[in-house]
Amino acid sequence: MSVEVRPFTGESRGNVAVSMALATVPILLAVGFAVDTKRQIDTKAFVQQAVDAAAIAGVRSWREASGDMAIVNEAVEAAFEANIRTTYSDVICEDPTTFDTRNADGSLSRIEVSARCKVPTMLAGALNDIESMEVNVAAAAEPMVRRLEIAMVLDLSNSMESEPLEALKAGANLLIDKVIEDPDSSDVRVGLVPYGTGVDAGTFGRAAVGQRGEQSRFCVAERTGPEAFTDAEPDPADPATLISPAHANHTDLCPSAGRVVPLTSDRDALKTEIDALEVDGVTAGQVGIAWGWYLLSGRWESFWPEESIPRPYSTRNNLKVLVIMTDGVFNHQLNAQPEAPDQAQALCREIKDRGVLVFAIAFDAAPNAEALMRECASGGSFYFDAANTDELTAAYAQIASRFNGVKIAR
């Protein structure tokens, strides 16, 4: 009797099925882990955005609430809740935890916010009995600028008559409202330098040319000689440091209404001066730029009234800002002086080298005036090309927004 031996083909199919089943388990585990890991990573990004927003809201509410942490906590939780909705609907988060850190003088240094959330697992949970994964996120936010000194150089040339002047006033007043939050604090101060054919520096002008006495109007022009493009403080004992008067009678080249106002936190006084501005004269913008620098210069510590003395250049957490505005070409200078635009360029270079931030606004200006303002500005984002009155006012609003903000410092 013979026996037929057959290959085990049917049994091999069973072996393959078993092998595939065994291989599927780690594949599913890997897929589940990948899916859940992506959810965890995505959730962390969403929660981070929510915590960042909450920290920023905390700083802003701290200012408004004068440090009342109950109000700050409410603002933080509201901002967190509003932003956390962008993540997966099944994510569960605890209320954020908030702390404030203060400087020695009691002012706010930073707001710190942390949050913990749980992300339910999907495939990995079914296979590994892991029901959720944790996401822990923290952020810190602080005021963008703690101390601020701003000098606004304002064009009062005849071409600014009517609507342009009103737009300039609106923009300058808006900037003041935005940056001076507490008029009783000296942390933020603003000064004004209106200019036309010259600058009316009043009694300060008389002192700057080396004369004594009180005078309500005194028109000044450029400084000449070796100190022409420096911020040396005027010293009667050193004639090279003295400023030049604009004319023998010192008044006929001044703007008819508009004078130098040294640094102050008196918001109402500044706005009163701005509202009274009138156009008059041509465009000696280089004189305005120079006096804007003098308002900010840490070297003029014995020239200005005590409440208006600029802080030293080396002062920590103090920002000096010059805002220049013109609607035309600088077209007036003293005899034997370099052309007005050349003087302006030299001044702007020295001012920036001192660490002063320069914002420049060209309002419906000619190409060469625009080019000068671009060169004077501290960079592309510091230059504004305002084509109409609405854009002129908006430029001041955008500048103000740079200093009325909060930065993330995690």
pLDDT at position 14 over 70: no
Mean pLDDT of the region 266-287:
95
What is d(CA 353, CA 185) in angstroms, rounded to the nearest whole number?
A: 29
Task: Tell me what percent of the residues of the chain surpass a pLDDT of 70.
Answer: 87
CB 323 within 8 A of CB 295: no
Containing H/E element for 358?
A: strand 357-363
Given this model, what pLDDT does residue 8 score? 45
pLDDT at position 4 over 80: no
Q: Name residues whose C-beta falls within 8 Å of residue 187's C-beta, 6 or more positions apart in sequence.
A: 107, 146, 147, 148, 265
pLDDT at position 251 over 60: no
Nearest to 133 by CA among 226, 44, 22, 238: 44
Structure tokens belonging to residue 194: 């209106």
**pTM (predicted TM-score):** 0.72
What is d(CA 257, CA 190) in angstroms, rounded to the nearest whole number?
A: 19
Mean pLDDT of the region 292-303:
97
Q: What is the pLDDT of residues 335-362, one digit of tens each?
A: 788 999 999 999 999 999 999 999 999 9
Given this model, what pLDDT does residue 126 score? 54
Given this model, what pLDDT does residue 259 score? 94
Given this model, what pLDDT does residue 129 score? 63
- Residue reference for tokens 């009234």: 305
For the chain, the average pLDDT equals: 87
What is d(CA 170, CA 348) in angstroms, rounded to the nearest whole number?
A: 26
pLDDT at position 22 over 60: no
CB 294 within 8 A of CB 300: yes
Mean pLDDT of the region 228-240:
96
Reported confidence tier of residue 2, pLDDT bands at 50, 70, 90: very low
Given this model, what pLDDT does residue 237 score? 95
Reported confidence tier of residue 125, pLDDT bands at 50, 70, 90: low
Count of residues in the chain: 410
Beta bridge pairs of residue 137: 115
Nearest to 343 by CA among 372, 306, 315, 384: 372
Given this model, what pLDDT does residue 87 score? 74
DSSP letter (8 states) at residue 245: B
What is d(CA 43, CA 41) in angstroms, rounded to the nearest whole number?
A: 5
Highest mean pLDDT among 33-42, 83-92, 123-132, 160-169: 160-169
